[in-house]
Structure 1
Amino acid sequence: MHEQMTLPEIQRQYPSAPGYLSACTAGLPAAATVEALRSFADQWAMGALDPRRISAQVERCRALFGDLVGVAPDRVAVGSQASQFASVVATAVPDGGEVLCVAGDFASLTHPFEQLGRRGVRVRYAELDELASAIDSRTSLVAWSHVQSASGAVSDARAIGAAARAVGAITCVDLTQAVGWLPVDAGDFDITICHAYKWLSAPRGSAFMTVRAGVQERLTPLAAGWYSADDPWDSCYAGRTPLAAGAGRFDLSPAWPVIPGTVAALEIVSRIDPRLAHAHALELANAARSELGLEPGDSAIVTWPDRDGADLAAMSRAGIVASGRAGNARVAFHLWNTRDDVTRLRDALGRSAG
């Protein structure tokens, strides 16, 4: 167990970027992450690249992520994209089955299921706050983002999970907009998917999937390759291609340049108390809501209607990095943010939001 850092110690790990309110788009890299990426490039340029060392770093990533979300390392698959993992999850849906998703959820989660029409699979959509009640005997799998990308809304995961279990439906939850600021236990779900480049501040190209024991046999490792074995270095060629005993059977061959940076990012996150990250993010997010005349909320992501993009443009002119999604202006508060960012947002928008 690493010694946990205080908030000032945490903030010293990350760059000073006043007005950066876009963790929900991409996290800021810690100094150690940047150094790891540079070191990889230097070693590559010198002809000193060591693939076996990178394999050991993959295993370190697996263990760190598993510890972060409360599951054993053998329940964690390591890949590059959320949509690829969702495509694997889609293989668990029986012919003629139904996948229940959230209206307006992120396409990387929903789009793979929409490709199953030739097998008679139906994708049905419900509003997030109605998802639990929409689950019924037709539902084979429920797939949703725990924190919605476009709105920042946080799901009632406990109620959704209970409703799914009552009808025997598999639960697949995308934690990409949650892990890093919102404490979660992946063991509460059959399957979770998480891309690490947002709230975990890893380089883009590192993603994880957790699979509950007993569920993995219902999934087909569509992208199985040399890295789908417990010992990939003994499984490089046809004739000896066993699958890993655990979730590693769903691994993708690692994107070598991003793995050292991902290790560095997760090492830092492992020293952060999730309760501290949660409290800090919510405190700043609700301070911003108060300044902007919005109701208090339970999300680190703050959104409001901005269909003409006027508020987003005003924030940009004030040096604020924000985003616009689905007709909303969107800002997010994470560990590197301070009260000064709330003040900057207030000065840019006044009380016009919402």
Structure 2
Amino acid sequence: MREAFGATFIGPEGYLNTAAYGLPPKATVDALERVHRGWAAGTVAGPDFDADIAAGRAAFATLAGVPVKSVAMGSSVAALLGPVASALPHGSRVLVPEGEFTSVSFPFAAHDGRGVTVTEVPLERLPELAADHDVVAVSTVQSADGAQVDLAALRAATEGSETLVILDATQQLGWLRLDLAWADVVVSSSYKWLLAPTGIAWASYAERMVERLVPHHANRYAGGAPWQTTYGLPLRLTDDARRFDISPSWFPVVGAATSLAWMATLDLDAVTAHNLDLAGRARAALDLPPLDSAIVSIPIEHAATRLQDAGLRASVRQGAARIAFHLYNDEEDLDRVVDALRA
């Protein structure tokens, strides 16, 4: 076990794969075990999860810096971007960076039959070309290598215009504080740096988006009072972004509420400093270019195999080994990486 930022983690030693999925604090594991025991005993009921949904929504709003009323609950980033893509007029022009995570680009590319075009450009050119497009969709921190989009330049290029800005913060939230409230859409999964189970994601829709979107997945939770909107017409939806809620995955939402509520109490600047210190020292030791990111892409021959042989968990993305340092990693993990790759 390892203690980090006031929480206990069961098995993070050598785990450097948070960019693929994060490890839960023991409190989250305990909460999931309790609800699964209740399921087995037949003692849980749907309303028991309402408090977890509210807690997860509020924690996401805090972490993303957005109003709670703007937050919708979904199952994945792609599912939350689907209604956004469907709301675009025929012939809309969408701009994405080269090599973008496909949960961001595919929902728009799927509308090519309506004349929607998706153009890929180098990440650094996104702000320069934004004003020539109807939509810009980008991960604030790139999944493959940890590179960050210049959000200040993107905001300056689009502010006051009709261009919609869509930000996927999945590789950011939980380790990096960035100002995102100005964007039209902010989406994030919970299972990476937010240390929750898969199956729960969140979106913040700005007011001008709420006015455009159709709640394609309208269900009893979209009414805001799910136990009063279970049967019969007329359609009864909330006035805020909850109208886009899907029916939740009950057990994952317990884990999401526990992990996100805890993370929302942390000094995120301290988490950022911790992560960047380890990642920066790894880059320096491996003679890699400096980059202010907790994600480290390692284009060293056989790097993934050497890490695996040393008992370290990592990924391979775009032909390079990818490691990620989060709050439960320490100098021992750093030393093992350097030893494995400099041997």
Q: What TM-score range do you get, normalising by the shorter chain?
A: over 0.9
Quick one: distance in 2 between partners of 1:165 and 1:100?
16
The 5 A counterparts of 1:1-354 are: 10=5, 12-137=7-132, 139-165=133-159, 167-306=161-300, 310-350=302-342
Q: TM-score, normalised by structure 2?
A: 0.96
Which segment is superposed worse, 201-210 or 155-164?
155-164
Quick one: distance in 2 between partners of 1:292 and 1:18?
21
Quick one: distance in 2 between partners of 1:134 and 1:85?
25
> Per-residue deviation at 1:9?
5.1
> Per-residue deviation at 1:8?
5.8
Quick one: distance in 2 between partners of 1:322 and 1:342?
13
> Per-residue deviation at 1:235?
1.6
Quick one: distance in 1 between partners of 2:93 and 2:37?
49
Residues 142, 164 of structure 1: 8 Å contact kept:
no
Aligned residue type for 1:40: V
> Per-residue deviation at 1:39?
0.5
Where does residue 4 of structure 1 map in the other structure?
Answer: none
> Per-residue deviation at 1:166?
5.2
Aligned residue type for 2:78: S
Residues 318, 348 of structure 1: 8 Å contact kept:
yes
Alignment length (residue pairs): 342
Residues 186, 210 of structure 1: 8 Å contact kept:
no
Aligned residue type for 1:344: R
Q: Deviations over 1:270-317 (max 9, x none)?
A: 2211101111110000010011111221110000325x6x11011000
Aligned residue type for 2:115: G
> Per-residue deviation at 1:168?
1.6
Residues 179, 200 of structure 1: 8 Å contact kept:
yes
Where structure 1 has 5 or more consecutive residues not aligned to the other structure, the ranges are 1-6
> Per-residue deviation at 1:19?
1.1
> Per-residue deviation at 1:164?
2.2
Aligned residue type for 2:332: D
Quick one: distance in 1 between partners of 2:225 and 2:54?
11
Change in Cα spacing, 1:74 to 1:215, as seen in structure 2 (3 Å) is same
Quick one: distance in 2 between partners of 1:57 and 1:174?
23
Quick one: distance in 2 between partners of 1:280 and 1:338?
9
> Per-residue deviation at 1:11?
5.7
> Per-residue deviation at 1:49?
0.9
Q: Deviations over 1:181-235 (max 9, x none)?
A: 1102331211101001000000111100001123211122222222211212222
Quick one: distance in 2 between partners of 1:344 and 1:10?
22
Percent identity over the alignment is: 37
Quick one: distance in 2 between partners of 1:154 and 1:238?
47
Residues 3, 9 of structure 2: 8 Å contact kept:
no
Where does residue 3 of structure 1 map in the other structure?
Answer: none
Q: CA RMSD in A?
A: 1.6
Residues 17, 313 of structure 2: 8 Å contact kept:
yes
Quick one: distance in 2 between partners of 1:186 and 1:60?
20
Where structure 2 has 5 or more consecutive residues not aligned to the other structure, the ranges are none
Residues 9, 328 of structure 2: 8 Å contact kept:
yes
Quick one: distance in 1 between partners of 2:7 and 2:52?
24
**Aligned partner of residue 20 in structure 1, secondary structure:** coil
Q: Deviations over 1:28-80 (max 9, x none)?
A: 11001000110111001111012112022101111111122222211111111
Residues 164, 184 of structure 2: 8 Å contact kept:
yes
> Per-residue deviation at 1:159?
0.9
Change in Cα spacing, 1:92 to 1:164, as seen in structure 2 (3 Å) is farther
